[in-house]
Structure 1
Amino acid sequence: MTLGTRPQHALRPVATTRAERRVVRVLAMEPGSPPSLQARIAHRVIRAVGRSFWERLPDTDAGLVRLQRATDLLARYVQSAPRGVAFAPQPLPHCSAEWVRAGAPDEDRALLYLHGGGYFFGSPRLYRPFTWRLSAATARPVLALDYRLVPEHTPADALQDALDAYDLLLERGHDPSRIVVGGDSAGGHLTLALLLTLKRRERPLPGAAFCLSPWVDLMCSSESHSGNARTDHLIPADKLAWLGRRYCEGRAEDDALFAPLRGDLSGLPPLMFVASGTEILRDETRDAAERARAAGVETVYQEWDDLVHVFPVFCDFIPEGKAAFRHIAEFLRRFGA
């Protein structure tokens, strides 16, 4: 399912070899097609390893730390990027970030990326297979933020880190209209929270933003949290609901950080939302896109069939994940960001 004007597809080279034809087929994938064989196999592994491990953990700080440490260990074995990709550290006031450059990106543009992980796990290193492809597809350097995590810190600290990273780009002379902000899951939530905070403070907004399976309602109130509880390949619905209750305790329902879905989205830059039809965050992603469009925001919504939560992040294993980069790049070209 796609809402919004149909994207204008870039010209693609003529494939002459079997390998080239396979690459073209992957890049040409569109929402609405059945999941590929590779995706179906990957889903079984992700469910058996990732979801099952999370389900067995207790709903405590110790449980969060165990999953955090497991993903940190996994990050050590992330495949190295191909030749022509450079990674460089970037210090920030309270945390750090990592510049990712694939090929020869346009240094007048920048993409601030906010990783997912429920606000308690994830890192730029874990996301390197994703961020180098994002840099290559969008022809711009990616600043991958290593924001502070729960349980030592709070989502409010992560928001401050995102503001600091955005300020860094402005201080370096980047035109806001040439900055893009993106994020997945909790990072998608953080993306909208950042935009709403910038708007409230009357700060310059970026040229565009995209959210991949964003967790935009921390109270997990949409129907798909229960309706897709069995079909979501990665997230145990009850675990996410527990996290949401913890994060929202004592907060107002209209707090932009905790409920950006219910915020005033008018005046925001063009937005792209991507979701899977079988994940628990489907309905709130749809709702965010519909609310943004109703508020007059240029909005693109894509819904892919029966894919894992934030499938573009699993691009090493899922062909549809690789195809998503073309759709993101086309969205940015369409709106001149």
Structure 2
Amino acid sequence: MGHELNVDIRPEYPVSWQAAAINGVLRGTMKPISTILVRNTAGMAVASRIMCLGERVPGILPKHVSIVPDRFGSCTGEWVHGGPGLDEGKVVLYFHGGAYFVCSPATHRPITWRLSAAAGRPVFSLDYRQGPVHSLAESLSDALQAYECLLGLGYAAQDIVLAGDSAGGHLTLATLLALRDRGMPLPTAGLCLSPWTDLSSSRRRANIWSDPMLPAGRVEWLARRWTDGLDCFDPLVSPVYGDYTGIPPLMIVTGSTEVLRDEARRVAVSARENGVQVTYEEWNRMPHIFPLLADVLPEGRLFFDHVSRFLDAVHDHTSASGVEAA
């Protein structure tokens, strides 16, 4: 029996003690640090340097996981294999988060290796250009070029999944919309973790106190910075305003206390109104991009079982559509 694809899911797992502890730590560290640093270019540079130092600390990966840096064309990144027996004819193109100015493929390996295992295929984690030196348009250009490079390497569009978290979730949606508008063959699905979808002047009112990690004021400051001189209601700038007609199935995941929750939910509702099959998951009291903490967070590990079920449902849906078309 196939899994339901167009569905709202609110996992009923008891909140673990690890999640409660992590929320407390984030509230006492990440949130105030972000409030202090994300105010000007100098503060952003300090935050970026701190993250770069973190990248130099070698992460502990299981022995069955392999990381291989690669470049094809002007696209740079790393291939992540989450174990043996993967389908090398399929791939996940992953866009890491970091508000478009911090983080890298290296910081997001706790997600990408597990995503590779859950999807049964390698992940190419793209090292796209970021601010403050580069613009949103340049980040999107890198994402589109990486997708075209994968097609050029022989991957069929239906064998590619796009995925990303936070700013990378924004980039996932913008890439899907841009590919559709250009008449390009579309990937089989899109997966967005805690996506940042509204860079307009709309003020955030949900979860501004309950989010343990993101200060709403700093998110809005970054949005103003990245959209300076742009139409912030352009769907490629704020995907929450997009028309998703013709977009492949989406999985959109957020935490119930996230300041970005409502804009993620708005994309899910809008996409469904445009005829898209959407699996929307809202995890109780989970922090922003909680699967990134899967090394220590049980809910973060459970999430990847949900990814497997979603991709199974996409496969069933695609197979059924192919039979009907025949």
TM-score by length of 2: 0.91
- Partner of 1:273, secondary structure, is strand
CA distance in 1 between counterparts of 2:152 and 2:195 reads 28
Counterpart AA for 1:175 = A
CA distance in 1 between counterparts of 2:8 and 2:75 reads 39
Q: Quick check: 1:64 aligned with 2:44? A: yes
Report the equivalent of 1:125.
106
Identify if the C-alpha distance between structure 1 residues 61 and 249 changes in structure 2 by more than 3 Å, giving closer, same or farther. same
Displacement of 1:308: 0.3
- Partner of 1:226, secondary structure, is coil
Pick the aligned partner of 1:107 from 71, 85, 88: 88
Report the equivalent of 2:314.
335
CA distance in 1 between counterparts of 2:286 and 2:60 reads 25
Report the equivalent of 1:20.
none
Deviations 1:89-128 (A, max 9, x none): 1215545110001212110110001011100001011111
1:1-337 maps to which residues of 2 (within 5 A)?
4-5=6-7, 31-57=11-37, 59-94=39-74, 96-104=76-84, 105-219=86-200, 221=202, 225-336=204-315
CA distance in 1 between counterparts of 2:202 and 2:273 reads 21
TM-score by length of 1: 0.88
Of 57-66 and 230-239, deviating more is: 57-66
- Partner of 2:29, secondary structure, is helix
Identify if the C-alpha distance between structure 1 residues 78 and 306 changes in structure 2 by more than 3 Å, giving closer, same or farther. farther
- Partner of 1:274, secondary structure, is strand
CA distance in 2 between counterparts of 1:149 and 1:325 reads 27
Does structure 2 conserve the Cα–Cα contact (< 8 Å) formed by 1:267 and 1:297? yes
Of 92-101 and 284-293, deviating more is: 92-101
CA distance in 1 between counterparts of 2:14 and 2:63 reads 33
Displacement of 1:271: 0.4
* Cα RMSD, aligned residues only: 1.8
Displacement of 1:49: 2.1
CA distance in 1 between counterparts of 2:256 and 2:200 reads 20
The ranges of structure 1 where at least 4 consecutive aligned residues each deviate by more than 6 angstroms after the TM superposition are: none
Displacement of 1:39: 0.5
Counterpart AA for 2:6 = G
Does structure 2 conserve the Cα–Cα contact (< 8 Å) formed by 1:87 and 1:100? yes
* Alignment coverage as a number of residue pairs: 312
Does structure 2 conserve the Cα–Cα contact (< 8 Å) formed by 1:78 and 1:129? no
- Partner of 1:62, secondary structure, is helix
Report the equivalent of 2:323.
none
Does structure 2 conserve the Cα–Cα contact (< 8 Å) formed by 1:78 and 1:126? no
- Percent identical residues: 44
Does structure 1 conserve the Cα–Cα contact (< 8 Å) formed by 2:8 and 2:280? no
- In structure 1, the gaps of 5 or more residues are 8-29
Displacement of 1:261: 1.2
Deviations 1:248-285 (A, max 9, x none): 22222442321111111000000010111111111111
Counterpart AA for 1:80 = I
- In structure 2, the gaps of 5 or more residues are 319-326
Counterpart AA for 1:202 = G
Deviations 1:145-184 (A, max 9, x none): 1111111111111111111111111011111011000011
Of 124-133 and 248-257, deviating more is: 248-257
